[in-house]
Structures are given as C-alpha cells and as structure tokens.
C-alpha cells in the first residue's frame, strides 16, 4: 500500500501588472472570438438580400473656399477665381461672352459698392507698387493675357490679408 502525501500548499507568486493585463487580454480575445462565432451561427439562417444600388448625383462645387479670412482679401480671391472661370477681357466690365475685367469681377463678387471700391483701392495699390501713376483700366488695357491680372489680384488679396482688411 502506498500512501500519498500532499505537499504543503504554497502561495502562488504575485503577478505584475503587465502579466495580469496580458492574461486578461488573452481571456478577452477568447471571449470575443466565441461571440463572433455565435453571431455567425445564429444569423446563418437569415437570407441575405442584395442591397439596392444607391447613386448620388454629381453636384458641381459652386463655392470655392477662400484661403483668406478677412473680407476684402476673400473678395479679391473670389474675383480672381471669377476671372479664371468666366474669362478675362480688357475692353469692358463685361463683354458679350461674359468675360470680365478685374473691376467687373470685383463688382460682381462684392456685397456692396463700398466693398467693391475698397477692393479696387487695394488692387490699385498693388499695381502702383510696380507701375507708378497707373489706373486699373489703363493697366488692364495694356495686358496681353489674363496671367498678370490674376497675379495682381492675388497680390492685392495678400496685401489686404496682411493688413487685416
């Protein structure tokens, strides 16, 4: 006959926080895996219908966000965008094709006549930094393309933004 003797009970070593978190993570992984399997099994009998096709119509972007937060700088930026989209002309505020000069673009984008005048003053100042004693219509009439006009509208917007206008 053999007798079994039991070893005296010893207390298991204390686990560190990282070891306890690792064990808890393993237990949670097992529980999550079992829950996913239970959902798959419990929903296997439900017939799956195809989802209807959803079409979203294309809506063109009509509002161009301005990089400037000040009102006159934003106005000059919108006038620049207006010239890029509608086209530029040197002979009239607006020609038969809808192309505009810089003053015409500023006026159509401004919320008031005073705001348009203030923006024109900024544009004139930007032009006069490089071309002394010049008016906007005379300077615009001498241009051969839209690029310089767009450039000076951008410079005027930067000037207005720097001044907080």
Residue 83 lies in a domain: yes
How many domains in the chain? 1
For the chain of 165 residues, list the mean pLDDT of each consecutive stretch of 10.
70 85 92 89 77 71 70 91 89 85 90 91 90 86 89 91 85
Quick check: is 26 in a domain? Answer: no
Give buried/exposed letters for 2-35 (b at 16+ CB in 10 A, else e): eeeeeeeeeeeeeeeeeeeeeeeeeeeeeeeeee
Is residue 66 in some structural domain? no
Query: What is this structure's pTM?
Result: 0.59
Q: Is residue 130 part of a domain?
A: yes
The answer to the question of residue 52 being in a domain is: no
In a domain, 63, yes or no: no
Q: What pLDDT does residue 66 have?
A: 67
Q: State the residue range of the domain holding 134.
A: 71-163
Quick one: pLDDT at residue 77?
A: 93
- Predicted confidence at residue 90, as pLDDT, reads 85
Cα gap 156→123, rounded to integer Å:
5
C-alpha neighbours within 13 Å on the C-beta side of residue 71: 8
Flag whether 18 is in a domain. no
Asked whether residue 56 is domain-assigned, the answer is no
Look at residue 43 in the predicted model and tell me its pLDDT.
Answer: 78
Tens digit of each residue's pLDDT (9 = 90 or more) over 115-157:
999 999 999 999 888 888 788 888 888 888 888 999 989 999 9
- The per-residue pLDDT for 62 is 58
């Amino acid at each position: 006959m053999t007798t079994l003797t039991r070893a005296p009970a010893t207390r298991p070593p204390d686990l560190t926080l990282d070891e306890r978190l690792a064990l808890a993570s393993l237990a949670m992984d097992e529980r999550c895996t079992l829950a996913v399997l239970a959902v798959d099994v419990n929903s296997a009998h439900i017939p799956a219908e195809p989802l209807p096709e959803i079409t979203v119509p294309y809506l063109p972007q009509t509002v161009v966000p301005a990089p400037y937060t000040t009102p006159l700088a934003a106005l000059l930026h919108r006038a620049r965008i207006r010239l890029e989209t509608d086209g530029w002309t040197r002979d009239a505020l607006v020609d038969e094709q809808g192309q505009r000069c810089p003053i015409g673009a500023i006026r159509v984008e401004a919320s008031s006549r005073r705001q348009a005048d203030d923006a024109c003053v900024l544009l004139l100042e930007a032009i006069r930094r490089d071309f002394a004693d010049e008016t906007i219509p005379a300077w615009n009439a001498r241009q051969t393309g839209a690029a310089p006009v767009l450039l000076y509208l951008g410079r005027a917007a930067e000037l207005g933004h720097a001044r907080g206008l």
